[in-house]
Amino acid sequence: MTTIKSQEWTYQDYLALPEGGPLRYEVIDGELYMTPSPNTRHQRTVGNLYLAIGHFLVAHRHRLGEVFISPIDVIFSRIPLQYVEPDLVFISKAHSAIVTEQNIQGVPDLIAEVLSPGTERRDRREKYSLYERFGVPEYWIVDPESESVQVFRLADGRYSAPMELHRKDVLESPHLPGLSIPLSDVFSS
């Protein structure tokens, strides 16, 4: 992971960065983060989560909202620029106006980050802080290595102590009523 400090990053600066290639870009608190593409275990885990939520939403005829998988731009603020590419994002129907043709502009209902060696520190610190500060109601930190999920839910503007789930547990969310994901399915290879 490489970090470049600058308080002047704009979304237009971000759009001018080279496309494709092995790097993913994010801007948090004026710092540009460049991260290599994730490994296959990471991608498998993200894919399994996406499929579980996607199938659930299809079964409910998308009445609850939409799920997006990375790469997807989520812009919390343009000045100063606060831009991230979460691994997975859920936007409820009630907040669908934040979904634009180009990106997501606002606060998603749920964000999931799947840890990898190059992003763990940022997911646990910078992104945790950013999501809490902007009021993301639910944040999942998914760890393929320990086969666990920490579920953070906003209460009075702060994330409460996480609910710790493991491979034998079932993942649920108040933002997706009726969803029940066995974590053994998420961490299957």
pLDDT at residue number 84: 92
pLDDT given at position 124: 95
91: phi then psi, degrees, rounded to nearest 5: -120, 120
Strand partners, 149: 142, 165
Per-residue pLDDT of the chain (189 residues; tens, 9 = 90+): 555 555 567 777 777 777 766 667 778 877 777 777 788 899 999 999 999 999 999 998 778 999 999 989 999 988 777 889 999 999 999 999 999 999 999 999 999 999 988 889 999 999 999 999 999 999 999 999 999 999 999 999 999 999 999 999 999 999 999 999 999 999 987
Q: Where are the domains of the chain?
A: 39-186
- Quote the tokens at residue 133: 């500060």
Q: What fold does the segment set 39-186 form as a domain?
A: tt1808, chain A (3.90.1570)
Tell me, letter by letter, the H, E, C secondary structure of the chain.
CEEEECCCCCHHHHHCCCCCCCEEEEEECCEEEEEECCCHHHHHHHHHHHHHHHHHHHHCCCCCEEEEECCCCEEEEECCEEEECCCEEEEEHHHHHHECCCCEECCCCEEEEECCCCCHHHHHCHHHHHHHHHCCCEEEEEECCCCEEEEEEEECCEECCCEEEECCCEECCCCCCCCCEEHHHHCCC
Q: What is the pLDDT of residue 3?
A: 54
pTM: 0.88
Contact 103, 86 (CB under 8 A): no
Token readout for 78 is 């343009």
